[in-house]
Amino acid sequence: MEPKFPEFVTYAIPVFFLLIFIELIYGVVKGRKLYRLNDSIADLGTGVLNRLFGLLSASASVAVYWLVYDHLRLFDLPAQPS
């Protein structure tokens, strides 16, 4: 059994967006342009693709387990003791 670790990325996403928003407000107040639109879109797209890849790999693991269970199991165990 694998040890359970917290999903740091999932917990960090709201903090990440909050810090970006604070930095954006700071840039507007100081009159600096801190972000370029193309960099922001590329970074956001990379983060979304990372999360989608995690979802797809988890789905593939479940599909392989289901396939092996359906076609290669040797016997069934009853759900309730007899």
- pLDDT of 34 higher than 80: no
Q: To the nearest whole number, what is the mean pLDDT of the chain?
A: 85
Six token digits for residue 15: 């903090």
Residues 6+ apart with CB under 8 A from 33: 27
More confident residue, 20 or 71: 71
- pLDDT of 61 higher than 90: yes
Predicted TM-score (pTM) of the model is 0.53
For 24, other C-beta atoms within 10 Å of its C-beta total: 13
| CB-CB contact of 27 with 34 (8 Å) | yes
Cα(15)–Cα(19) distance, rounded to whole angstroms? Answer: 6
Q: End-to-end distance of the chain based on CA atoms, in angstroms?
A: 28
